[in-house]
Amino acid sequence: MMSAMPIVGRPILSLRDEGILVVGDLHIGVESGLGARGIHVPSQTFMMEEEIAQTADGHQRLVVIGDVKHQVPGSTPQEHKEVPRFFELALNLFEQVDVVRGNHDAGLEPFLPEGVIVHPASGLKIGELGLIHGHTWPSTEVMASKLMVMAHNHPVLQFRDGVGHRSNEPCWVRFHKTHDQGRYLQIPEETILIPALNRALGGSPVNLEGRKLLGPLFRKGLLDPSDGIAYLLDGMKVGKVGDLMVPAKERRSKSGRKRLR
């Protein structure tokens, strides 16, 4: 199996033997959309650039697996300014920079400096590594990879304390099982769901009862969220997602006390 290791403390996957860094869900411009709704969040692009720069050493190739920009349809002034800047930096740090198209990446090419290679949403295969965003079906070639890496869901683990307070922590999810539904002749031995690089996005709790993860691989049952093994950004192995489920809602009894359901 390929040696794929999350970089401790960062939502960045390293395949050091292959010289590859993988990130996803930059959503550059999301802060502009939040600001328009009265939620003022500083741009996270500088932080993402810093994280990439600090982890580039020993890697020759950066692959961004989708959702480079946020606004769909159209674009924002923030995207026009910060998308080119991010990739100019990346081209100075890596010998090759690739983008696998995500569902927010319509019309992306005019934002990208010359030298960035854009691949279709059906994915990119590098040796035994398959890379997809996750919003559409992977190609047959990508599904024949030993290791597949995907984004799109912005995975977090939700924790609940004794008084009902909930908090979300970004997480990695590793799947050592892909359920054969007859669509593909070959399926990956392992799949890694990566957290979003942009910390302003929040996330989708993978351990919330009744929550359906996005994309056809989850929707059609090739990947079952409860099968996944969850890890926090600090490297802590939390356990099997199916053993970490938390109730989706609370309701009050006639006495006014909260009851879980």
Residue numbers in the chain where pLDDT is lower than 50? 251-256, 258-261
Nearest to 230 by CA among 222, 243, 242, 239: 239
CA distance 75 to 80: 7
pLDDT value of position 99: 98
Look at residue 178 and give its three-state secondary structure. coil
User: Strand 166-175 relative to strand 96-100: parallel, antiparallel, unpaired?
Assistant: unpaired
CB 4, CB 147: distance < 8 Å: yes
Q: What is the chain's length?
A: 261
Q: In total, how many domains does the chain have?
A: 1
pLDDT value of position 35: 57
pLDDT value of position 97: 98
Task: Provide φ and ψ at 24, rounded to 5°.
Answer: -155, 165
Alpha carbon separation from 127 to 1, 59, 61 (Å, rounded): 12, 16, 14
Alpha carbon separation from 109 to 95, 166, 198 (Å, rounded): 19, 40, 20
At a CB cut-off of 8 Å and minimum separation 6, what does 138 contact?
Answer: 122, 123, 130, 132, 148, 217
Q: Which two tokens stand for residue 226?
A: 């409860």
CB 123, CB 131: distance < 8 Å: yes
User: Whole-prediction pTM value?
Assistant: 0.91
At a CB cut-off of 8 Å and minimum separation 6, what does 196 contact?
Answer: 11, 24, 25, 27, 151, 154, 170, 203
User: Strand 96-100 relative to strand 117-119: parallel, antiparallel, unpaired?
Assistant: parallel
**Rounded to the nearest 5 degrees, what angle is found at the Cα of 19, between the Cα atoms of 17 and 24?**
115
**Rounded to the nearest 5 degrees, what angle is found at the Cα of 259, between the Cα atoms of 206 and 158?**
20
Instruction: Look up the domain containing 150 and give its range.
Output: 5-260
